[in-house]
């Protein structure tokens, strides 16, 4: 039975990259803060950091409630989580269509990939928000944002999943066929479990991109993190404080997902050995 110090020694190599990244971020934050404070003194900008806490937590009727920034963080996390699930579904279906024997399915998947990957996300977002209502299709801001993010991210996930499926050795597929498994059984029991292990790190990388892309939803007045910074600017003229605080939250999400990516890669290597 391993002792507690031994277990800690085994855990440390896995979290070491995350600790190093956090130390680099802290050092960079100190340097940038020092430079900004000294430069803004000459411009006459008055920092209002003392107002930021009320945008994090606010007291209402004797109870603490999430402020504007925390509400924006929760909305960003919710949109990212739902968008990631929907994007994974789009990506899986599209990847299977790309590998299908049906010419029509391959053509439809190719059309979707070319259309989404070769047009800006902002144009797609504006089409869903402004274009669809003119065609009689109306959705809420949240549904519009999730659909735009999921369709855009799903196109990239489709190629990641397709590459993962094609990385499975043909011998295993032939063995599954000889065992009497049909197409869906082969996918569910043999191919997809292995493909998920191969594509987990790239999928988490795409999740990081999705989090950053969610900032565009502020343009359709969705109350996420970037929109919270805009409201702080308009209410109190706090552009530096508002957007810097929003950026810190984005960085926290980024480093969490990056640490999860490193952990998944270490775990995959451990399982393969």
User: Each residue of 3-59: pLDDT tens digit?
Assistant: 555 554 555 565 677 677 778 877 887 787 777 777 666 666 677 777 888 888 877
Asked whether residue 268 carries a pLDDT value surpassing 80, the answer given is: no
265 vs 136, more confident: 136
Segment 224-237 shows an average pLDDT of 85
pLDDT at position 242, please? Answer: 83
3-state secondary structure of 156: helix
Going along the chain from its start, the domains and CATH numbers come out as 69-272 (1.10.3720.10)
Residue 214 has a CB neighbour count (10 Å cut-off) of: 25
Nearest to 56 by CA among 268, 229, 174, 198: 229
Which tokens hold the place of 266?
């270490």
- Strand partners of residue 59: 64
Which spans in the chain are helix H?
4-43, 52-56, 68-98, 103-117, 121-126, 132-134, 141-166, 170-178, 183-186, 192-213, 225-236, 239-272
Asked if 88 and 154 touch (Cβ cutoff 8 Å), the reply is yes
Q: For tokens 């066929």, name the residue.
A: 177
Asked if 56 and 70 touch (Cβ cutoff 8 Å), the reply is yes
- Average pLDDT taken over every residue of the chain: 83
Which pTM does this prediction carry? Answer: 0.79
Which tokens hold the place of 117?
């990957």
pLDDT at position 85, please? Answer: 93
pLDDT at position 260, please? Answer: 80
Which tokens hold the place of 148?
């735009």
Asked if 170 and 177 touch (Cβ cutoff 8 Å), the reply is no
Backbone angles phi, psi at 57, to 5 degrees: -135, 140
User: Each residue of 86-129: pLDDT tens digit?
Assistant: 999 999 999 999 988 889 999 999 999 999 999 999 999 999 99
Asked whether residue 264 carries a pLDDT value surpassing 60, the answer given is: yes
């Amino acid at each position: 039975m391993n002792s507690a110090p031994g277990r800690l020694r085994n855990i440390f190599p896995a979290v070491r990259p995350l600790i190093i990244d956090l130390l680099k971020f802290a050092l960079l934050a100190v340097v940038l803060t020092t430079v900004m404070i000294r430069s803004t003194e000459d411009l006459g900008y008055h920092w209002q950091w003392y107002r930021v806490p009320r945008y994090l937590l606010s007291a209402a009727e004797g109870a603490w409630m999430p402020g504007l920034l925390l509400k924006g963080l929760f909305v960003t996390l919710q949109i990212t989580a739902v968008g990631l699930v929907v994007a994974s579904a789009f990506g899986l279906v599209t990847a299977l269509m790309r590998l299908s024997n049906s010419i029509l399915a391959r053509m439809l998947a190719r059309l979707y990939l070319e259309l989404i990957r070769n047009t800006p996300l902002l144009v797609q977002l504006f089409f869903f928000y402004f274009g669809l209502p003119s065609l009689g299709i109306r959705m809420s801001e949240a549904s519009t944002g999730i659909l735009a993010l999921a369709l855009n991210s799903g196109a990239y996930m489709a190629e990641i999943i397709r590459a993962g499926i094609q990385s499975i050795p043909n011998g295993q597929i032939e063995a599954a066929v000889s065992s009497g498994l049909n197409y869906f059984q082969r996918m569910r029991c043999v191919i997809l479990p292995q493909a998920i292990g191969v594509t987990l790190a790239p999928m988490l990388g795409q999740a990081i991109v999705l989090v950053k892309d969610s900032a565009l939803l502020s343009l359709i007045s969705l109350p996420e993190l970037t929109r919270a910074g805009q409201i702080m600017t308009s209410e109190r003229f706090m552009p530096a404080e508002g957007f810097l605080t929003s950026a810190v939250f984005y960085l926290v999400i980024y480093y969490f997902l990056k640490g999860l990516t490193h952990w998944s890669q270490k775990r995959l290597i451990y399982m393969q050995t």
